[in-house]
A and B are shown apart, each in its own frame.
Chain A
């Protein structure tokens, strides 16, 4: 009996010779990451554990991105805790305020390679499956344990396969595929399981779209999302990251899946997840015309260069509706610079949008862009729970960057075709 890509990665990181879903195994971790939210609690637990050093200082990154630049005194103290920790324990892979979002920096800096096993103190650590790595999020105490030991226990997840067929329509991308999928299986449809995305449509997706899909696997409860590396992955690793040595795993033909879902996406329209669940998927045409107050374009889900280019294509020679605040935040300093170079930032500013510092604040109602009572946003982020972006009565509609940009211009939820 064969193995899936996820099972193969787990097998190569454990002492055990055979595994099956449900087995509890101890694995060696290739890289760990934390931020200014999970980090301070991890630091406290790490020291309580009596640990004297991080298992490997080269294989840990600390990225301050949630409440940065320091929102208030409490955030300032949290960031200071992490700065001091990095200095005390010699963590060189340290990224202070404004460097970017953890799940963008991690692959941009080459900390993620296909075949790696990565643990992060953030639920969206699942993103890196887009490059063919096994990655999952844990809480602070778990992370402290890995910081000390370089190992963690995991339950081998049962495997779900999603096969996408057909010809992907214009204006539809990774974000739409994942929202549609969560809509089909529900927010606990992959709880504790692997979501392996495959098929001709996935092969045609750019790396950015693949990262977007895996990023939101957690929204269906998944332990990890993953896509087999292919020529596009290899090209990305070589050209963009400058890394050519890594392990490529592929699922065997006779690998065991608990279930296989097949979707023909030829007639799929851009998807919008309506409040208050990422699983409330609707075609954009079902929700067009709903008035909005804010548009958010960015995040670990859709803050990469391709996303900004898509938004710029819509916003070019257009104006943001006077009643809408449009906030655009590049995923990292590198993306910010490239967007400047390509003239995207000019397009955004000329349209009336504002550019925010790369970070996570807007997405989770942390700071910069909090919604008031009854306000409504279209956002390219990943969650639309009650109160996610501010007041409990405020609403977040999740979409791809083109739909968000079109909605910013119209002042209501809109299809990109309405403005181009």
Chain B
């Protein structure tokens, strides 16, 4: 799959309270959560996001709480992909599990500015900065993660496993 979009850039340690403030955690409807995406970072940020936009973050993106509401809000707001120097571990699992493409690439972080247009090939992790005519290679996804993504997320993956009577190998 080829993803293309306009970039919003963030620094290191963007935490889940910034992505989705705690006061909204009793909401579980993705469309409602999307209305508050990044509100803890900037109050009017939700209005700025357009379908297909790409987030580029520094190290430890999504640190803090285990709230899946954070990647759900990002995805439901229309963000097509997050590229970061590195991800916090729970955020990474959550993103993959709900089908939000995530790529780790420190060079891309350095070579992409806010407002650039970026294209990503999710199959091989090739990131092209169309604005600057440069390209970067993200860490390829491990096979088991590709399996989950191929199934359409963890829900479909487990559904298939439950259907099959053979030994579970989650």
Partner of B97, one of A50, A139, A386, A387: A139
A186 to B: closest C-beta gap in Å:
9
Task: Across the interface, name the chain A residue whose C-beta is closest to B91.
Answer: A139
- Given A50-B163, A74-B27, A148-B158, residue A191 in contact with residue B88 (CB < 8 A): yes
Listed A/B pairs (5) with beta-carbon separation below 8 Å: A75-B26, A121-B66, A141-B98, A188-B12, A383-B65
Partner of B170, one of A38, A153, A223, A392: A153
> Please, which residues of chain A bring their CB within 8 A of the CB of B132?
none
Interchain Cβ contacts within 8 Å, total number: 153
Interface-centre pick from A36, A49, A72 (highest chain B CB count, 10 A)? A49
- Given A139-B68, A221-B60, A385-B17, residue A144 in contact with residue B28 (CB < 8 A): no
CA distance A30 to B116 in the complex (A): 47
B1 at the interface (CB under 8 A from A): no
- Given A44-B28, A139-B90, residue A386 in contact with residue B162 (CB < 8 A): no
A232 at the interface (CB under 8 A from B): no
Interface size counted on chain B using CB atoms at 8 A: 48
Please state if B64 and A37 are interface contacts (CB–CB under 8 Å).
no
Task: Across the interface, name the chain B residue whose C-beta is closest to A73.
Answer: B26
B159 at the interface (CB under 8 A from A): yes
Please state if A221 and B89 are interface contacts (CB–CB under 8 Å).
yes
CA distance A188 to B11 in the complex (A): 13
CA distance A370 to B153 in the complex (A): 36
> Please, which residues of chain B bring their CB within 8 A of the CB of A149?
158, 161-162, 168, 170
Q: Mask for A114-157, Cβ within 8 A of B = 1, else 0?
A: 00000001110100000000000111111011001101110000
Please state if A142 and B94 are interface contacts (CB–CB under 8 Å).
yes
CA distance A49 to B66 in the complex (A): 21
- Given A188-B63, A192-B89, residue A36 in contact with residue B68 (CB < 8 A): no
Please state if A187 and B90 are interface contacts (CB–CB under 8 Å).
no
Task: Across the interface, name the chain A residue whose C-beta is closest to B89.
Answer: A192
Please state if B60 and A188 are interface contacts (CB–CB under 8 Å).
yes
CA distance A121 to B25 in the complex (A): 13
- Given A50-B163, A383-B17, residue A26 in contact with residue B68 (CB < 8 A): no
B17 to A: closest C-beta gap in Å:
4
Q: Give A333-382 interface residues, CB cut-off 8 Å to B.
A: 364-366, 370
A388 at the interface (CB under 8 A from B): yes
Chain A facing B: main interface SS: loop
A204 to B: closest C-beta gap in Å:
31
Task: Across the interface, name the chain A residue whose C-beta is closest to B157.
Answer: A145
B129 at the interface (CB under 8 A from A): no
Please state if B155 and A24 are interface contacts (CB–CB under 8 Å).
no
- Given A44-B28, A78-B28, A187-B60, residue A49 in contact with residue B158 (CB < 8 A): yes
- Given A139-B94, A392-B40, residue A387 in contact with residue B17 (CB < 8 A): yes
Task: Across the interface, name the chain A residue whose C-beta is closest to B143.
Answer: A24
Please state if B142 and A24 are interface contacts (CB–CB under 8 Å).
yes
A20 to B: closest C-beta gap in Å:
15
Q: Give B1-37 interface residues, CB cut-off 8 Å to A.
A: 12-13, 15, 17-18, 21-23, 25-28
